[in-house]
Structure formats: C-alpha cells, structure tokens
Amino acid sequence: MSEYSIFQIDAFTKQVFRGNPAAVVPLSDWLATSVMQHIAAENNLAETAFYIPADRDDADFHLRWFTPAAEIDLCGHATLAAAHVLFAELGWTADRVRFSTEQAGILTVSREQDGALQLDFPARPGEEIAIFEEFCQALGARPETLFLARDHMAVFATVAEVATVTPDMEKLAQINKVGTIITAPSDQPDIDFVSRFFAPAQNIPEDPVTGSAHCTLVPYWANKLSKTTLSARQISPRSGGLKCTYLKDSARVLMAGHAITYLKGTIFV
C-alpha cells in the first residue's frame, strides 16, 4: 500500500463551502488509469485532478482530470485547484504554471495581482442547432436558441428562467454524454451573464462552477454583448464568479477566479 497527498480546494471563490470543490492528487508518476478512476469515484466530487512533472520544455506538469464516472477532456475548476495547490501549498514560486494535457493542449495558469488565478483555455464556440423536442422534455423548459460544442448550450431570455429549470436527469444524460449548459443575460449591472451546468451522464447532476463551460459561454456572450471582457456568475446553490476575456483572434478564453484550501490529507492505495 502506498501513500499520496490529497488536497480539496474550493475553486472560483474566496470562501470555503462556496464555488466548486475539486480534489488534487500530486504524483511523481502516473498511477494506473483504473486506480485514478477509483480514487475519483471514492472522492465523489465533480472532478479529481492528478498531475506529474513534465518531461518537455513547453510545460511544467502533465495534468489529467477524472469525474466519478470517467476521465474527461477539459476541466476548468480542477485546473484552477491544481494551480492553487502548487502556488499556495507546495511553494511554486514562478508567476505561472503550464500544464500539458491529452486533448486540450497546453493550459497556463497565471497569478494576478489581486490573488486571483487566471486560466488560459481554448475557446469552444458552439454552432446553433435546431431545438428538438427530446431536449426540451429532458430539460423541462424550451430555450430561445440552442447551440452545440462539446456541451449543448441552451439560451434563455431571463435569469428567472435559468434559475427555475429542473431537468429530468435520466433523460438529460441521454442527450449529451458530457454536459448541458443553460444561460441568460444577467439582470445585475456588475454581471454580464449567468449560467448553470448539468452533467448527469458523468454522475454530476449539477456542477457548481464550470470553467470548461465558459469556453463556449464566453465566445457567445462576447459576440452577443459586443464586448471582450465579461463578468460571469454560475447560479448553482454554491455559486461562483469568473472574470472572463475572449481573445477571438487566438481562439482563447481567459478566466480568472480565486481558490481556497478546504482539506489536506493522505490517501492509502
């Protein structure tokens, strides 16, 4: 039996019990994929991030993410959590950390002057598709428009509509094997748009704050509102906020948020 450090971080928040919790397990070498999947299932959080030192010049660490059900291609809040562990807990002194990933390329996290961490992620603009009845039945509501990137993204007219959506999780899991975003323009002057995110096929009925969803949300709202810098809030029960920038020419999305350590411990595998 081996011992490994584990951290639980609340991401996209300055307060514990808010934002999105993620587990982070630093490693010197990869464990078997099946073992990492078991650890993620045991943690029963939306995501568990694992990283090892990189063996390449353009990255500092290799990073992978697991939901309780499967390895996933991109996760924002667990990337923020992994960077927070390095900066706040493990003495990483550089102003940025670079993660190489299997499918999302190089992801960079930089320290901001106000203590926030800024993620540099690939943009994933959605393509508008026809609204179909199975989707509306699964969501329990009919949006104004519907888009598809990795996730489905349903756009509503008001915050109230987004706040009151109650999906049929079993049906929604059949629509998209990763997740479904719902969004609307904000009714507050200091927030541009709100969202919620559901991933029942990944054993995550509702994710509290979803960085990867903003790779699709930010291009849409930047175009819709004719601005490149946006303030976003995910209105889950835990809630969380992001400051976002759309770099259209380079097809990147910058997302800045805070993180706080909730737990430090040891796992025995």
Question: Strands 20-26 and 47-53, how do they pair?
Answer: parallel
Looking at the fold, whether 74 and 143 belong to one and the same domain comes out as: no
pLDDT tens digits for range 86-145: 999 999 999 999 999 999 999 999 999 888 999 999 999 999 999 999 999 999 999 999
For 154, 168, 220, 235, the CA distances from 142, given in Å and listed in that order, are 8, 13, 19, 19
Q: How far apart are CA 229 and CA 38, in angstroms?
A: 39
Whether this prediction's pTM lies above 0.85 is answered by yes
Residue 136 and residue 70 share a domain: no
pLDDT of the residue at 164: 98
Share of the chain above pLDDT 90, in %: 98
- The residue segments making up the domain with residue 60 are 3-122+256-268
- 147 and 110 in a single domain? The answer is no
pLDDT for 49: 98
* pLDDT at residue 173 is higher than 90: yes
Query: Domain with 184 in it: what CATH number?
Result: 3.10.310.10
* Domain count across the chain: 2
Q: Is 47 a catalytic residue?
A: yes
- Give pLDDT, residue 113: 85
User: Is 94 in the same domain as 154?
Assistant: no
Q: How many C-beta atoms surround the C-beta of residue 110 within 10 A?
A: 17
Same domain, 162 and 115: no
Per the prediction, the chain carries an average pLDDT of 97
Q: Are residues 167 and 83 in the same domain?
A: no
At 192-231, the pLDDT tens digits run 999 999 999 999 999 999 999 999 999 999 999 999 999 9
The pLDDT score that the predictor gives to residue 258 is 96
Q: Span 43-53, mean pLDDT?
A: 97
Residue 234 neighbours by CB under 8 Å, 6+ apart: 12, 194, 195, 196, 197, 208, 209, 210, 240, 241, 242
pLDDT one-digit tens code per residue, 7-41: 999 999 999 999 999 999 999 999 999 999 999 99
Mean of pLDDT values over 69-93: 96
Which residue carries 């999305």 as its tokens?
Answer: 253
If one counts every other C-beta atom within 10 angstroms of the C-beta of residue 17, the result is 10
Q: Give yes or no: residues 110 and 21 share one domain.
A: yes
Rounded to whole angstroms, the Cα distance separating 188 from 96 reads 32
Residue 162's pLDDT band, with cuts at 50, 70 and 90, is very high
Query: Are 28 and 86 contained in the same domain?
Result: yes
Q: Are residues 205 and 132 in the same domain?
A: yes
What's the pLDDT score for residue 44? Answer: 96
Same domain, 146 and 182: yes
- Among residues 42, 47, 89, 133, the one annotated as catalytic is 47
Could you tell me if 118 and 131 lie in one domain?
no
**196 and 148 housed in the same domain:** yes
Beta bridge partners of 154: 146, 182
